[in-house]
Structure 1
Amino acid sequence: MKTTPSQLRILSIDIGGSSVKATILDSKGDLTMDYQKIATPKPANPDNIIKAIKTLVKNYPPYDRVSVGFPGYVRNGIVKTAPNLGTDFWADVDFRKRLTEELGQDTQVVNDADMQGLGVVKGKGLEMVITLGTGFGTALLMDGHLLPHLEVSHHPVSKGRDYDEYIGDRALDEIGEKKWNRRIRKVFQILKTVFNYDYLYIGGGNSDLLDFKLDKNMKIVTNADGIKGGARLWQEDKHPVTHVAMATPTK
């Protein structure tokens, strides 16, 4: 019996520097089960990440599609950079094809902040999503549509340091929360000036450490909210930037 679009079950996976999380969504993006996680393997090369994903979802209910948020630059499912996992491992890996073959269902892979953005935005005007975690993730959407991904995290921001180096986990550990928050204030002012967004959403594990009042058009969001974006990747009529022809699963 053929599955209709409204009956689709989507395995939604979020790959991070410290853990790999997954759940199954319905076609509207609602969770059909609590998301579970497994530690990101070291080294975090493609074989080890795929092995971790297969271990994590081994006892999951059946699913029809797979959506993956990946911490790096991804174009048409092919990884270009993966600074927090190891670009040397990942450069030019067709991760969409490999996962389609390994999991047996059509797969889409996008930057993790892009997928989170699809899950949290209102769909009105220019909305920006950032993630404060191992590194600094960004996504831009116009009226709910993903715009081409920009690796803002690797743009120099201070004394030759990029955003990852300036406000990522390593910087937080080195300088402490008080100084880190001062840097975050500076970054927020830069983002406001450069992008002139209508709304800014702030995700990632370190968003809980912000110690100052946010503007009215800024909001902290959770990883659980972000993983819901996995369902919206499959609405090809709404998201032509992300949708590509699917590979046929290997039997």
Structure 2
Amino acid sequence: MSDQKEQDKSARILSIDIGGTSIKACMLDEAGKPLTEYTKLPTPEDSTPEAVLETIKELVGDLGEYDKVAVGFPGYVKCGVVETAPNLAENKWTHINLAQQIADLLGKPVRLINDADQQGLGIAEGKGFEIVVTVGTGFGTSLLFDGELLPHLELAHLPITKSKDYDDYIGNAAFEKIGDKRWNNRLKKIIEIYKTVFNYDTLYIGGGNAKHIDFELEPNIKQFSNRDGIKGGAKLWAAQEKYHIFTTHPKQ
């Protein structure tokens, strides 16, 4: 019986998705099946590293025991270290070893990657060249080939007009300013650019504003929910460790 309990414990992965609007979490088994309810708290208004850690501590307190932690973060991450966070507290997220801080906070090993990358692992079917994008606070992107995550590119910060990058053009601030109709026209333009540049096999669109899409999507374009994307935490731990998938252990 004790061996079975230990096996059950080792199969439990705490999956966390840090977003510009909310921080979400649930427990997964090693196949990505949810073991607990999907819970979330608002991202702190003053979203410094310290405030985000406090929110994570509060969020996961009642979820039960787990063996390891997977974290998606809205910015550029390399080897568990955050280098950018354009939609969180300004000038507070340069070279922050967030993976180490979360590992020390929770006392478990952590894998931390870009949030769209983690969602991509949970969404992609592993067939050919797949792109996962999120249209929420900003514009998240993830690229995968035959199910394997490619090194992260901050495509959100490529210019799309003389004065705007993708974040400015299609992010939530733009949505609130220009409204549904113009925002949908902008999304159509982005899809056409992606078709021409990437020739993807499948494009997946998620994020908080995906529910506002009012035009028919082509057969190889699919929508997904954040609840689907958080399942990527299990695949993150199943993936081979590389420079962009890096395990951080708590300090003894």
Does the TM-score normalized on the shorter chain lie above 0.5? yes
User: How do residues 47-86 of structure 1 correspond to structure 2 at under 5 angstroms?
Assistant: 47-86=50-89
Deviation at 1:4, TM superposition (A): 5.0
| Structure 1 residue identity aligned to 2:84 | T
| Cα distance in 2 for residues equivalent to 1:5 and 1:192 | 44
The secondary structure found in structure 2 opposite 1:205 is coil
The secondary structure found in structure 1 opposite 2:100 is helix
2:37 aligned residue:
34
- Match for residue 244 of structure 1 among 236, 243, 246: 246
The secondary structure found in structure 2 opposite 1:157 is coil
Q: Contact 2:131–2:202 (CA<8 Å) still a contact in 1?
A: yes
- Match for residue 96 of structure 2 among 89, 93, 96: 93
The secondary structure found in structure 2 opposite 1:130 is strand
* Superposition CA RMSD, Å: 1.6
User: How do residues 199-210 of structure 1 correspond to structure 2 at under 5 angstroms?
Assistant: 199-210=202-213
User: How do residues 44-193 of structure 1 correspond to structure 2 at under 5 angstroms?
Assistant: 44-193=47-196
The secondary structure found in structure 2 opposite 1:12 is strand
| Structure 2 residue identity aligned to 1:45 | T
Q: Contact 1:146–1:241 (CA<8 Å) still a contact in 2?
A: no
Relative to the length of structure 2, the TM-score reads 0.95
Map Cα deviations across residues 123-159 of structure 1 (whole Å, 9 max, x no partner): 0100000000000000000010100000000000012
Return structure 1 stretches of 4+ with deviation > 6 angstroms: none
Q: 1:236 to 1:183 in 2, by over 3 A?
A: closer
| Cα distance in 1 for residues equivalent to 2:7 and 2:196 | 44
| Unaligned runs of at least 5 residues, structure 2 | none
| Structure 1 residue identity aligned to 2:248 | M
Residues paired across the two proteins, number? 249
| Unaligned runs of at least 5 residues, structure 1 | none
Q: Contact 2:109–2:247 (CA<8 Å) still a contact in 1?
A: no
| Cα distance in 2 for residues equivalent to 1:198 and 1:53 | 36
The secondary structure found in structure 2 opposite 1:53 is helix
Deviation at 1:211, TM superposition (A): 0.8
| Structure 2 residue identity aligned to 1:139 | S
